[in-house]
Structure 1
């Protein structure tokens, strides 16, 4: 069994890779105010940016689904890593050599399963690259050259060649210390009929498929020889590190450009991605042997920061033939899962972007991408084109097929505009008739999806579990307590030492009181102002996972001021909380005096009256002098 990674090495890995760098591989982050960053949550489907990251504290929190944690737990959640695998991934990125409690350094026998499989793919990718330069690899080089890709282009995308023998890669990986189980588990080989392992890819051109962080997790291989009876394209099977619905070819190269440009271009093949990038369309990605589906949409949306307030664009490119139109209409079915505009670029003459580049040059590909047609418009035109609209029967049939398409548009103004456009396409002079028909179907779809479009709507995905307590950040009653706790966690130097003199009973919401208790157990705000890992200490001191989650939430939530928080702002909340506590006590003492009335002697009543007078004086002092009166 692998030894436990040393604590100091885990801390070194955390310090070496800022959380915004790690999260940025998966989510486009924008300024969230108060030193925080925000983006579209990768853990649940949302149309607003409620996912916050605190670079200074090294934590994240989603105010929608309540997921939270640090850099390591983020990787564990999004990649389904074990703790060790997440640390090993980060260590590899930061060039840190890990040590284990059983002794020794980051030896292969101690690495987690996923780390070993990724390493095997890295070694295989480098070997395939070498094979492309061999005499046998000439067939692969010729294939690339015929499609306009030179040696530099092949190197840029890591394209390699798998020799035609049965176990060349298997033997090579064995020589590098990988076990047969690892080679088989990673999908690099398959079980032969005689019981031994044989290479999965043989006599094929090979593209490495990388995840968002740039690690090779699988391969796509193209048939080159006529006597190869296998499929034209053969991909890595589903493995512990490769899920075809979770990866997009070229995402490692395109992710930053997608975020920067606010546009993603979805093409169909590996050579199409290469062609697009080489002509300057560096936002191009492709699916890996599967249809573009919901999980791919989530990847694109996170990179586009695709919300209802910010709308980027996703451009699909499909061949102009029947199969391409069918693929485009499938994409249309998913359109409403985007907030972004979705468009389609239909290549002329059935050419894909790679063929278009060869036939008409780089500029033709750029023009194709720059002049797409809205996906709704394409879907309408394609549907209407299947009917004879010069006859009444054909117009009626086209209307009944196309109207549900328009009815799916959520934006009422856009829906009305397309309804009018549909009337024009059909040659129906009474536009309002078409508008009313679309409105009727739209109403049916809302009331009963099965009646509106004759299709079964999937059951809504289960929502993440929420804490037993729900605190509304906008609640005026708890605003002061929440803001002061946030200041103590994010800017302890601004509220110390006064904050440490505040009792738990001054926080009326039990969850806030529990966080105050954890801060005290961690050494208090004064101590927090002098140590770099104060948040971790507070997390350790929290009494349960719900309070730990609240600590993270309050750490990443921006302070509610337009200016940078300072001592004046912190003092305002120190005073407001203390005055609220004093006034509650004044109310209690007045009630006590009223209950005592004439039932006790003046001597017994005097201490209570004295407390009331002192409280009122203290409240007046705070009101007049502010934080100086604490």
Structure 2
């Protein structure tokens, strides 16, 4: 096999592709002390941030699901690509020219599949943009944009394009550019006709490229313009591809993600023109789902950007049309509301106009006013349900309560829940609000739907059949010195140095800690560490046997976990930790020596008794010194 990337170039990628910047494109990170950052884990659903990133050491670790690794493995996991492609992707972002074994030049066909597909989409974006400026049918597309208030500059800003009136114009263009037929089919730009020939996916349609969060084109949305279009669908989107997963894609996320994190707000609209209208009107946090309804995976993406947690709360504002479909969409959004910790709102224009139409008719200020007049989603949901019942009859009031009490009962904030229960009583016409409050308190959700398996239980179940030693508990006070000393060895090797290496393996009582101590020794010992990131990688690589995966996970976890000291460790702290680590073993030896002395008659074997008694004195002196050294430590 040719084309292996040189090790020194891989190391350069690790050093120059800053892990906080890379992960920050997917997850909003905030300072957690000790030089570390935290956010909501992108690999499992959680309410409280447990995902830790250590920029100084180049590693991440999730204390909820145990996912861990460096910047390269993060890209592998998040983008579902291989090691080589992850390195190439990061090298491209960092401006690093990779060199490959068996030749200094980059092999022409070594680029990973993801990079090739993105390059094909980039070429398609440029092709379609040029076609939008061409005479002929493209004039209809330009008129469509102009009628909705988007000038040429706006079209360029969103890379709008036009698919020409030809069966294979794009396909021929990309084939001439060096892309293979299979690549064009895989990325969704071309398809096979009934005759088996390769033709374009889109024809005679206005196009919006869809970008991922770091600005790479991954698909297209296409609007019908002509009556003779063979497809009746108003909108066509790229089909599912290795790049484009419609359940996770949000149009406008590339432009909005930084404002979402900065403003702690996201505005969810229904279409491409609505996103453009909001952005141009001064609502830069607007996004829209593409080719599918807004769902749970979209929620996960937004929560990571908002850092939607019990600690950091923001706003999610759903903007819907005022028609019946919009009402249903709002109620559907309320069912998803429980997945957010953020406050959720709905903004609906009374006359049914969407943001694009509102901006076109009334200007930018009207769009901003629509968002400013947002209504709490629960309030909107209650009002929508009450409209369906005749509250002038007993039966109507009873049925109205049956549908609205569950809505109120699901409000996360207890204080707000009580206020809405009292308000509901007034809206329905119940004289005694305490009756409704009692109903709300007594309501119980369907237990079969409410039960969710905790992330750590999922991890345990997934690994139950694997040969594994038990994972130590982080908070076990009996193992505090063992854990703290290993943290020092992983995070501050130049400080821990020979002091740690001098400790014996029997100082570690937990088998996992002892195994990690062996991996550290196998990696050359702490004194051999020069670069922290490289050192952590070496220790992980030194883990072998059936428990290697667990040891690597533990090593990464201890590489990002803050020390038990309010400031960075110093030599005095290292000395106190190592002393505390050694004390149990010394106390054990003291007990053994005392037991031996009890079995010896000093009158019959004076020499042996005096020798062992001397050992006891020395051990007790050592124990006393260790106690003094450990004082004020962990």
Q: Which residue pairs with 2:7 in the alignment?
A: 7
Q: Which residue pairs with 1:101 in the alignment?
A: 101
Q: Determine if contact 1:2/1:111 at 8 Å carries over to the other structure.
A: no
1:157 aligns with 2:158: yes
The alpha-carbon deviation at position 259 of structure 1 amounts to: 1.0
1:528 aligns with 2:529: yes
The alpha-carbon deviation at position 597 of structure 1 amounts to: 5.2
Q: Which residue pairs with 2:215 in the alignment?
A: 214
Matched residues in 2 for 1:325 and 1:545: separation?
Answer: 50
Matched residues in 1 for 2:628 and 2:20: separation?
Answer: 43
Tell me the secondary structure at the aligned position of residue 110 of structure 1: coil
1:581 aligns with 2:581: no
**Closer/same/farther in 2, CA of residues 311 and 388 from structure 1, 3 Å limit:** same
Matched residues in 1 for 2:84 and 2:244: separation?
Answer: 19
Q: Which residue pairs with 2:303 in the alignment?
A: 301
The alpha-carbon deviation at position 546 of structure 1 amounts to: 1.0
**Closer/same/farther in 2, CA of residues 299 and 168 from structure 1, 3 Å limit:** same
1:611 aligns with 2:612: no
Matched residues in 1 for 2:131 and 2:181: separation?
Answer: 22
Q: Which residue pairs with 2:329 in the alignment?
A: 327
**Closer/same/farther in 2, CA of residues 460 and 320 from structure 1, 3 Å limit:** farther
Q: Determine if contact 1:511/1:547 at 8 Å carries over to the other structure.
A: yes
Bigger mean CA deviation after superposition, 568-577 or 291-300: 568-577
Q: Determine if contact 1:36/1:54 at 8 Å carries over to the other structure.
A: yes
**Closer/same/farther in 2, CA of residues 401 and 486 from structure 1, 3 Å limit:** same
The alpha-carbon deviation at position 229 of structure 1 amounts to: 4.1
Matched residues in 1 for 2:501 and 2:92: separation?
Answer: 41
CA RMSD, Structure 1 to Structure 2 (Å): 2.1
Q: Determine if contact 2:471/2:512 at 8 Å carries over to the other structure.
A: no
Q: Determine if contact 2:278/2:367 at 8 Å carries over to the other structure.
A: yes
Q: Determine if contact 1:491/1:529 at 8 Å carries over to the other structure.
A: no
1:545 aligns with 2:555: no
Matched residues in 2 for 1:224 and 1:2: separation?
Answer: 49
Q: Deviations over 1:420-471 (max 9, x none)?
A: 111111111121222222223x23x2xx447xxxxx6687588233664222
Matched residues in 1 for 2:10 and 2:601: separation?
Answer: 65
Matched residues in 2 for 1:52 and 1:384: separation?
Answer: 45
Q: Determine if contact 1:52/1:556 at 8 Å carries over to the other structure.
A: yes
**Closer/same/farther in 2, CA of residues 611 and 192 from structure 1, 3 Å limit:** same
Q: Which residue pairs with 2:61 in the alignment?
A: 61
- Work out which of the residue numbers 336, 339, 342 in structure 2 matches 1:340: 342
The alpha-carbon deviation at position 276 of structure 1 amounts to: 1.1
Q: Deviations over 1:245-286 (max 9, x none)?
A: 011111111111111111111111111111111122111111
Q: Which residue pairs with 1:176 in the alignment?
A: 177
**Closer/same/farther in 2, CA of residues 77 and 599 from structure 1, 3 Å limit:** farther
Tell me the secondary structure at the aligned position of residue 75 of structure 2: helix
Matched residues in 2 for 1:425 and 1:8: separation?
Answer: 70
The alpha-carbon deviation at position 6 of structure 1 amounts to: 2.8
Q: Determine if contact 2:57/2:532 at 8 Å carries over to the other structure.
A: no
The alpha-carbon deviation at position 626 of structure 1 amounts to: 6.4
Q: Which residue pairs with 1:601 in the alignment?
A: 605
**Closer/same/farther in 2, CA of residues 592 and 432 from structure 1, 3 Å limit:** same
Tell me the secondary structure at the aligned position of residue 364 of structure 1: helix
The alpha-carbon deviation at position 599 of structure 1 amounts to: 9.6
Aligned pairs, number:
618
Q: Determine if contact 1:406/1:418 at 8 Å carries over to the other structure.
A: yes
Q: Which residue pairs with 1:428 in the alignment?
A: 430
**Closer/same/farther in 2, CA of residues 531 and 326 from structure 1, 3 Å limit:** closer
Q: Which residue pairs with 1:556 in the alignment?
A: 560
Matched residues in 1 for 2:247 and 2:154: separation?
Answer: 26
Matched residues in 1 for 2:584 and 2:530: separation?
Answer: 26
Matched residues in 2 for 1:256 and 1:276: separation?
Answer: 16
The alpha-carbon deviation at position 371 of structure 1 amounts to: 2.8
Q: Deviations over 1:283-327 (max 9, x none)?
A: 111100111101001001111111112211111100111110101
Q: Which residue pairs with 1:453 in the alignment?
A: none
Matched residues in 2 for 1:529 and 1:86: separation?
Answer: 25
1:354 aligns with 2:350: no
Q: Determine if contact 2:2/2:101 at 8 Å carries over to the other structure.
A: no
Q: Determine if contact 1:209/1:217 at 8 Å carries over to the other structure.
A: yes
**Closer/same/farther in 2, CA of residues 615 and 459 from structure 1, 3 Å limit:** closer
The alpha-carbon deviation at position 16 of structure 1 amounts to: 2.0
- Work out which of the residue numbers 225, 236, 259 in structure 2 matches 1:234: 236
Q: Which residue pairs with 2:85 in the alignment?
A: 85
Q: TM-score scaled to structure 1, two decimals?
A: 0.94
What runs of 5+ residues in structure 2 fail to find an aligned partner?
none
Matched residues in 2 for 1:592 and 1:248: separation?
Answer: 73
Q: Which residue pairs with 1:472 in the alignment?
A: 473
Bigger mean CA deviation after superposition, 9-18 or 194-203: 9-18
Tell me the secondary structure at the aligned position of residue 247 of structure 2: helix
Q: Determine if contact 1:245/1:295 at 8 Å carries over to the other structure.
A: yes
Tell me the secondary structure at the aligned position of residue 337 of structure 1: coil
What runs of 5+ residues in structure 1 fail to find an aligned partner?
451-455
Matched residues in 1 for 2:532 and 2:63: separation?
Answer: 27
**Closer/same/farther in 2, CA of residues 609 and 181 from structure 1, 3 Å limit:** same
Bigger mean CA deviation after superposition, 186-195 or 515-524: 515-524
**Closer/same/farther in 2, CA of residues 461 and 500 from structure 1, 3 Å limit:** closer
Tell me the secondary structure at the aligned position of residue 234 of structure 1: strand
The alpha-carbon deviation at position 145 of structure 1 amounts to: 1.3
**Closer/same/farther in 2, CA of residues 270 and 89 from structure 1, 3 Å limit:** same
**Closer/same/farther in 2, CA of residues 367 and 596 from structure 1, 3 Å limit:** farther
Q: Determine if contact 1:108/1:116 at 8 Å carries over to the other structure.
A: no
Q: Determine if contact 2:487/2:563 at 8 Å carries over to the other structure.
A: yes
Bigger mean CA deviation after superposition, 493-502 or 94-103: 94-103
Q: Determine if contact 1:208/1:219 at 8 Å carries over to the other structure.
A: yes
**Closer/same/farther in 2, CA of residues 107 and 140 from structure 1, 3 Å limit:** farther
Q: Determine if contact 1:97/1:105 at 8 Å carries over to the other structure.
A: no
The alpha-carbon deviation at position 8 of structure 1 amounts to: 2.7
Matched residues in 1 for 2:280 and 2:403: separation?
Answer: 40
**Closer/same/farther in 2, CA of residues 359 and 523 from structure 1, 3 Å limit:** same
Tell me the secondary structure at the aligned position of residue 44 of structure 2: coil
Q: Which residue pairs with 2:122 in the alignment?
A: 122
Q: Determine if contact 1:27/1:305 at 8 Å carries over to the other structure.
A: yes
Matched residues in 2 for 1:411 and 1:593: separation?
Answer: 66
Matched residues in 1 for 2:603 and 2:299: separation?
Answer: 75
Matched residues in 1 for 2:210 and 2:601: separation?
Answer: 83
Q: Which residue pairs with 1:71 in the alignment?
A: 71
Matched residues in 1 for 2:603 and 2:400: separation?
Answer: 90
The alpha-carbon deviation at position 2 of structure 1 amounts to: 6.8
The alpha-carbon deviation at position 519 of structure 1 amounts to: 1.7
1:412 aligns with 2:402: no
**Closer/same/farther in 2, CA of residues 530 and 139 from structure 1, 3 Å limit:** closer
